[in-house]
Structure 1
Amino acid sequence: MIRKILAVVAGMIVGSVGVWLIERLGHALYPFPAGLRPDNLEGFKSYVESLPFMGKFIVIIGYALGALLSGFISTKVAKDGKPTVAIICGAIFTFFTIYNMIMLPTPLWFWILGIAVWGLVLAGYKLALNKNNI
């Protein structure tokens, strides 16, 4: 049981780092407006609303990387060959993604991809089962 809890924690941490890295790239390409503070929700909403398609799509790419990493790492740590921990990670990430989409102005396509992409935890799970991987 402890191993499964650690697997979920590890999957969440590594998946979050994957999302963060890609989002950092997105912020480098589409910087925040000067003076925007992290606690300014209205300013951040305005920033998100003004992002072009690619600025928003980079976030989806981050989610995809996070899902793959999360599914892979959680499965490797769990060492039980079952998709349970990967699915738990995907469910938690999906919950937070939906929360973010409720809080920020996101188009319909973002909602669809933003939820669907977390299914890639199962691809990470399958990759982790491949004996040719580390």
Structure 2
Amino acid sequence: MLRLILGVIAGIVVGSVCVWAVETLNHSLYPYPVGMKAGDMNAFKAYIENLPFLGKFMVIVGYSLGALVSGFISTKVAKNGKPTAAVICGLIFLSFTIYNMIVLPTPVWFWVLGVLVWGLVFVGYKLALNKNR
């Protein structure tokens, strides 16, 4: 049980770092407007709304990488051969993603991909199992 908990924690941490890294790259390509304050939610919503397709798609790429790595790492750390840790990571990330999509102005395609992409935790899980052989 302890390895499962550690697996979930490791998966969430490493997956979050992956999402953060891609989003940091994205913000360097599409910087915030000059003078935008960190806590200004209306300005952030306007930024997201005016972000071009590639800027929004990069967020999905970050989610994809986060899901894949999260599934892989959580499975490796849990060491039980079951997808439980990967599924828990996927559900936690999915809940945060849905919250963000409710709060921020995101198009329908973003909703579809934003939900589906967290299924990649299963690919990470499978890759982790293949590395055991």
Report the TM-score when normalising by structure 2: 0.97
Asked if residue 3 in structure 1 is aligned to residue 3 in structure 2, the reply is yes
Asked if residue 19 in structure 1 is aligned to residue 19 in structure 2, the reply is yes
- Residue 73 of structure 1 corresponds to 73
Once residues 39 and 79 of structure 1 are traced to their aligned partners in structure 2, the CA distance between those partners, rounded to angstroms, is 41
CA RMSD in angstroms, aligned pairs only = 1.1
> Which stretches in structure 2 are left out of the alignment for 5+ residues?
none
Q: CA deviation at 1:131?
A: 2.8
Aligned residues: 133
Q: CA deviation at 1:52?
A: 0.5
Once residues 12 and 73 of structure 1 are traced to their aligned partners in structure 2, the CA distance between those partners, rounded to angstroms, is 9
Counterpart of 1:130 in 2: which secondary structure? helix
Task: Give the alignment of 1:115-134 within 5 angstroms.
Answer: 115-131=115-131
Percent identity over the alignment is 67
Once residues 4 and 81 of structure 1 are traced to their aligned partners in structure 2, the CA distance between those partners, rounded to angstroms, is 11
Task: Give the alignment of 1:1-134 within 5 angstroms.
Answer: 1-131=1-131
Once residues 93 and 131 of structure 1 are traced to their aligned partners in structure 2, the CA distance between those partners, rounded to angstroms, is 24
Q: CA deviation at 1:110?
A: 0.1
Once residues 71 and 3 of structure 1 are traced to their aligned partners in structure 2, the CA distance between those partners, rounded to angstroms, is 14
Amino acid across the alignment from 1:98: I
Amino acid across the alignment from 2:30: Y
Report the TM-score when normalising by structure 1: 0.97
